[in-house]
Amino acid sequence: MNILKKIALSTALVAAFAVVSAPAFAAEEHKDKNAEVKAAATGTTAKIEEAIVIAEKGDKVAFLATVSEARQLQKEFRYEQTERLRQKLNDKLSAAREAATQDNMSEATVAIKAALVYVKEMREIYDAAHK
């Protein structure tokens, strides 16, 4: 009789856990990775173009903030064929930030313009593969 009670209790516990945990294991909503990558590419390009305008004005604080935002956005631009270019882009953004930190805005402007070339090239490669 004790064994039957233990079996019944175990079965009831397993059933309760199954009912409660089913929603927890449900599939997550489908995310469109292409839309996320395109948004990251567009945002990165916009921030870099904004940084160029700020650099030409000479506002170091705003420039550093905008470059930081561009660096964060470019991390989401993940596509296998452009990974090396993304690394080069990150290097240019870092160089621009470092130059601005050292009060060398002319060097920062050159680096941020080079970063713009990389991000545009990355976008062209991505768009060509995803028509």
- Which residues, including other chains, have CB under 8 Å from residue 126's CB and lie 6 or more apart? 37, 38, 41, 77, 79, 81, 82
pLDDT digits (tens, 9 = 90+) for 52-75: 999 999 899 999 999 999 999 999
Are 40 and 73 spatial neighbours (Cβ–Cβ below 8 Å)?
yes
pTM for the model: 0.73
Please give the residue range of the domain that contains residue 102. 33-129
CA atoms within 13 A on the CB side of 23: 3
On whether residue 67 sits in a domain, the answer given is yes
Residue 14 lies in a domain: no
In-domain check, residue 87: yes
Q: How many Cβ atoms are within 10 Å of 98's Cβ, its own excluded?
A: 14
Q: Give me the residues of the chain with pLDDT under 70, please.
A: 9, 13, 18-31
Structural domain contains residue 64 = yes
Please report the pLDDT score of residue 89 as a whole number.
94
Q: How many domains does the chain have?
A: 1
pLDDT digits (tens, 9 = 90+) for 10-20: 777 677 776 66
Residue 13 is assigned to a structural domain of this protein: no
Average pLDDT in the chain = 86
Residue 66 covered by a domain: yes
Q: Has residue 16 been placed in a domain?
A: no
- pLDDT at residue 3, as a whole number: 82
Residue 130 has a pLDDT of 84
Per-residue confidence (pLDDT) for residue 30, from 0 to 100: 59
Q: Domain with 55 in it: what CATH number?
A: 1.20.120.660
Q: Does residue 3 belong to any structural domain of this protein?
A: no
